[in-house]
Structure 1
Amino acid sequence: MSSRSIRRIAAATLAAGAALGAAALPASAQSSPVQAAAYRSGVFIGSVQHDSPGFNDRSNRSLNREWIDVTNTSRRSVNLDGWTLSDRDGHTYTFHHYRLDGRATVRVHTGVGRDTYRDVYQDRRTSVWDWRSDTATLRNDHGRFVDDASWGGRHRRGHDGDHRGDHGHRR
């Protein structure tokens, strides 16, 4: 067999494998390009605590009880450098020099604090997330939509998510 024939057979085998792999995706990942992108990256918005429990006195302690978890379900770590987490009003937190390990979660707090591998801080002096109704949107370093979580009155289409302290929806 010539090397040209072997290359053609190998190319056909790879193409068939790719088609089979795409067909094997779960139905939820096939339902929309947005969900397919989140499925491929393995990164999504997990739990949300948009309303600080207890008395909200705007102290740093109270602000740090307002948080959003970003979770990576894949086995591989994901470089979040340049990724953003924003609210409906345009308040934006940008991840800097942060790598989220595989099968790990990082909690993004609103207030001031010292970043660790499990917790990062927006270093804000005022609340970001509207306790009545808001949407948290996660975008990658190219500005492409990865995931969102909504709570309160105005929801985007979606299903119930795992958001503590709210009746949120997630795409």
Structure 2
Amino acid sequence: MFTRRFSLPVAGITVTLLAASTAVLPAAAAAPQFLVAGIQYDPAGTDTRTNAHINQEYISIRNNTTRPLSLKGYRIRDAASHVYFFPPTFVLKARSTVLVHTGKGRNSANHLYWGSGNYIWNNTGDTARLQNAANTVIDFCTYQQVTGRVAVKC
């Protein structure tokens, strides 16, 4: 089970929608420009704390529009307040997804690296929040531990 929430400006008022995994939004409701697409929170095998294994843990962020968009000032935050800031020059292509790996590596158009030496996403459950430069939550995904599951689509 996971939960998604996003806010939409409607006629000068901000409307907050809360949707469970089985909810269908009305056609008139526009999706956010960016969304948390999924989280790989439990890499295969034993947690070795090597950079290669830590990088198998990641969160995916999707550009939901038909144009490239800057993520300058955007951040990802988990329930324990670990924070990742997107590079100021990073632009996500239209209808594309970027994986933000937990460990260290070289950034590219579709792979960014948090730079952590430890795991971020809890196997027992966590919440990922995507926030804009004004610290407004654009989208979030909350998951709970499910036996045999190692990732969640949000």
| Global fold match (TM > 0.5) | yes
8 Å Cα contact 1:150/1:169 also seen in 2: no
Higher relative contact order (CA 8 A, sep 6+): 2
Q: Percent identity?
A: 30
The root-mean-square deviation of aligned C-alpha atoms, in Å, is 2.2
Residues 1:103 and 1:169: Cα distance change in structure 2 (over 3 Å): closer
Gaps of 5+ in 1: 1-18, 20-25, 31-35, 154-163
Residues 1:60 and 1:138: Cα distance change in structure 2 (over 3 Å): same
CA distance in 2, matches of 1:51, 1:125: 15
> How many residues in Structure 1 have an aligned counterpart in Structure 2?
128
CA radius of gyration, larger in? 1
Question: Is 1:122 the counterpart of 2:114 in the alignment?
Answer: yes
Which of 38, 58, 67 is residue 76 of structure 1 equivalent to?
Answer: 67
Gaps of 5+ in 2: 1-10, 12-24
CA distance in 2, matches of 1:106, 1:127: 19
Question: Is 1:60 the counterpart of 2:51 in the alignment?
Answer: yes
Aligned-partner residue type, residue 150 of structure 2: G
8 Å Cα contact 2:32/2:64 also seen in 1: no
Runs of 4+ residues deviating >6 angstroms? none
TM-score (normalizing by structure 1): 0.68
Deviation at 1:49, TM superposition (A): 0.2
CA distance in 2, matches of 1:98, 1:59: 27
Residues 1:71 and 1:169: Cα distance change in structure 2 (over 3 Å): closer
Aligned-partner residue type, residue 113 of structure 1: G
TM-score (normalizing by structure 2): 0.75
User: Which has the larger share of helix?
Assistant: 1
Deviation at 1:54, TM superposition (A): 1.3
Secondary structure at the residue paired with 2:52?
helix
CA distance in 2, matches of 1:48, 1:113: 18
